[in-house]
Amino acid sequence: MSSPNGPVYQTGMNTVSDYSTNHLAHTLRAGSVGREDALCVDLHDRGLRLPFGAVFALAERYANALVAQGVAPGDRVMVQAEKSVEVMAVYLGAVLAGAVFVPLNTGYTARELEHFISDAEPTLVVCDPAGEAVVRGLAKGAVLTVAADGAGTLAEAVGRAGEGFAVVPREADDLACILYTSGTTGRSKGAMLTHANLASNAETLRDYWRFTSDDVLIHALPIFHAHGLFVAMNVSLNAGNAMIFLPKFDPDTILRLMPTATAMMGVPTFYTRLLAHDGLMREVAAGMRLFVSGSAPLLAETHREWTARTGHAILERYGMTETAMNTSNPYDGERRPGTVGHPLPEIEVRVVGEDGTPLAAGEIGGIEVRGPNVFKGYWRLPEKTAEEFREDGFFITGDLGTISEDGYVTIVGRSKDLIISGGYNIYPKEIEGLIDDLPGVNESAVFGVPHPDFGEGVVAAVVPRTGKTVDPDAVRAALAGELAKFKQPKAVVILDALPRNTMGKVQKNALRDEYVGLLAQ
Ligand code: MLC
Ligand code: AMP
């Protein structure tokens, strides 16, 4: 089997090692043992269909290539590259080699990248050929490239690597991944996920959502965040089901392929965009058994419209980078619109008051989580980690919610100053810091308002210095090269002053109310 651009995929396995000694590798391989010829990934855009045998043979070759680049157990392997089976193989290769996989959003700019590279100190960075010069200027370790079609120096390194790999033993508590998540301070923190965090969540979700080797999942999410990587990919590998692996979300392609699939996972924007498409009809979804939504609130209205159009009730679940998935609506039973369902098995969820005391059913408070899914802490930030955990091990999510008498969790807001746009998290502090440094700017406040496509969209309110004027277009232009596109304000408004309460704190709620319709079309 070969792709038009060179990389060669073998069909057979030549495993010389035992996956059972590596906690996560064992879980990810579990669904395909003895089923090497079964379809693992359908790379529709490249006309390639790779069975499990080929994918794990590739992963073993990649593991050899990583080791040849100097990657030792515990070392970080960072990836900022377009979604491809090669990136999937770097992930699996890193797991097999006992390394720590660190994926990055492909939208991050050089400025953003600098922090990730200096913080994670990766032994190897895999990036898009277009980004190589920038990465080489920042990275101390090795740099390899991979394009969306698999071409690049990574393919060459893998071509030189041997087949079969002696899988590096890893325990439950060893690190498997670091995922960066922004914070209220404006500085991204690396969430350390262990082998057991990821393995337990994959197994739990497989059972809860009834994934089996008969499933075919539409995988249109990016694989640099928890949803596409830990939920969609890990569950599929663990269950041994095929994935239709799409480079990005495209409603035409998804609707064309839906009759060949059984399940899809997406952010709410996937569902609203599909609902806006004439091609979404009951017959197209007739063979589907499950639609999962998460990463951002799904409007109850979208839930109901979807049921009316397709006959399927979307199953909404709730998770975080730090915890993978926490709650889910039931597979059987009522999938209640506007709620995120019940705590998953072995995971405890509580709602507490400001002093940390658990509240009664129906009362609104902070959502806290404890269980095998909850991360080990923030990379090299022990104090920050300590702040986010209670003494009894519960993690403080920063989400506000309630739990009903019959156990359904509803998220009603956030205590953290966070905007979620199209499933991506944006912390205003980072954007405010950049705007405040612009010439003529006195201060700024960044907040989210309803956006018809992305749920929330970013708006910046900017106050010029006395006697100065600030041009909104100049603000947007200045941010363009600094921030990933999804973080850039969709609108900039110029104000004489920011609304403040008596304590002097900026009232973002007042700004949100004032500009609630600004991005509505
Ligand atoms: C793209 N743009 C966005 C955006 N995505 N702006 C704000 N928010 C977003 N999410 C920008 C583009 O750069 C472009 O800017 C313009 O908006 C239009 O882009 P598009 O072509 O319409 O966007 P598209 O490429 O189709 O992407 C939209 C999307 C994508 C919804 C498919 O954002 C996406 O895949 N989101 C999923 C994110 C995800 O996986 N989240 C999980 C996190 S894990 P311009 O200037 O060029 O016009 C997590 C835990 C959990 O949260 O619980 O799961
Ligand atoms: P992230 O940091 O990208 O992992 O985003 C996690 C945050 O996304 C959570 O803390 C929630 O605020 C939000 N989130 C995830 N799933 C849902 C959901 N189903 N409904 C509402 N918010 C969600």
Instruction: Render pLDDT for 180-222 as a digit per residue (tens, 0 to 9).
Output: 998 766 689 999 999 999 999 999 999 999 999 999 999 999 9
Q: What mean pLDDT do residues 496-505 have?
A: 92
Q: What mean pLDDT do residues 89-115 have?
A: 97
State the residue for tokens 């999937």.
88
Amino acid identity, position 125: V
At residue 378 the predicted structure's pLDDT band, cuts being 50, 70 and 90, is very high
Percent of the chain whose pLDDT exceeds 70: 96
- Strand (E) or helix (H) holding 510: helix 508-514
**How many angstroms does the Cα of residue 245 sit away from the middle of ligand 1?**
17
Q: What is the pLDDT of residue 17?
A: 59
Mean pLDDT estimate for the chain: 95
Q: What is the pLDDT of residue 5?
A: 37
Q: What is the pLDDT of residue 13?
A: 53
Q: What mean pLDDT do residues 338-358 have?
A: 96
* CB-based pocket (< 6 A), ligand 2: 181, 226, 294-297, 316, 318-321, 340, 397, 399, 411, 414, 420, 425
Nearest ligand 2 atom to the CA of 322 is 4
pLDDT above 50 for 251: yes
Q: Measuring from atom 7 of ligand 1, which residue has the nearest CA?
A: 486
Compute how many other C-beta atoms are within 10 angstroms of the C-beta atom of residue 359: 15
Backbone angles phi, psi at 73, to 5 degrees: -55, 135
Q: Measuring from atom 3 of ligand 1, which residue has the nearest CA?
A: 486
**How many angstroms does the Cα of residue 411 sit away from the middle of ligand 2?**
9
The number of the ligand nearest the C-alpha atom of 231 reads: 1
Cα 505–chain centre separation: 32
pLDDT digits (tens, 9 = 90+) for 33-77: 999 999 999 998 899 999 999 999 999 999 999 999 999 999 999
**How many angstroms does the Cα of residue 415 sit away from the middle of ligand 1?**
23
At residue 11 the predicted structure's pLDDT band, cuts being 50, 70 and 90, is very low
Rounded to a whole number of angstroms, the distance between the first and last alpha carbons of the chain is 48
pLDDT above 50 for 4: no
At residue 8 the predicted structure's pLDDT band, cuts being 50, 70 and 90, is very low
pLDDT above 80 for 267: yes
Output the six-digit token pair for 355: 């002093």
Looking at residue 233, the DSSP 8-state letter turns out to be I
Neighbouring residues of 386: CB distance < 8 A, sequence distance ≥ 6: none
* Weakest-pLDDT range from 10-19, 124-133, 469-478: 10-19
Q: Measuring from atom 26 of ligand 1, which residue has the nearest CA?
A: 249
Q: Measuring from atom 11 of ligand 1, which residue has the nearest CA?
A: 486
State the residue for tokens 């100065």.
468
Q: Measuring from atom 23 of ligand 2, which residue has the nearest CA?
A: 296
Quickly list H helices, 5-45: 23-29
Is this structure's pTM higher than 0.75? yes
Q: Measuring from atom 7 of ligand 2, which residue has the nearest CA?
A: 320
Distance CA 488, CA 50 (A): 38
Amino acid identity, position 167: V
For residue 401, the cross-strand partners are: 365, 411
Q: Calculate the CA dihedral of residues 312, 313, 318, 321 and round it to 10 degrees.
A: 20
State the residue for tokens 């990275």.
139
Nearest ligand 1 atom to the CA of 250 is 26
Q: Measuring from atom 5 of ligand 2, which residue has the nearest CA?
A: 320
pLDDT above 70 for 10: no
Q: Is 302 helix (H, G, I), strand (E, B) or coil?
A: helix
- Which whole-number Å values give the CA distances from 355 to 29, 359, 366, in the listed order? 44, 11, 10
Q: What is the pLDDT of residue 263?
A: 98
CB 369 within 8 A of CB 349: yes
pLDDT digits (tens, 9 = 90+) for 410-448: 999 988 889 999 999 999 999 999 999 999 999 999 999
Distance CA 461, CA 451 (A): 17
Ligand 1 within 6 A of CB of 55:
no
Ligand 1 within 6 A of CB of 245:
no
Which of 454, 473, 482, 487 to mutate to test ligand 1, by most ligand atoms within 8 A of the CB atom?
A: 454
pLDDT digits (tens, 9 = 90+) for 293-323: 999 999 999 999 999 999 999 999 999 999 9
Neighbouring residues of 437: CB distance < 8 A, sequence distance ≥ 6: none
Q: What mean pLDDT do residues 93-109 have?
A: 97
Distance CA 55, CA 96 (A): 13
For residue 409, the cross-strand partners are: 341, 403
Q: What is the pLDDT of residue 519?
A: 97
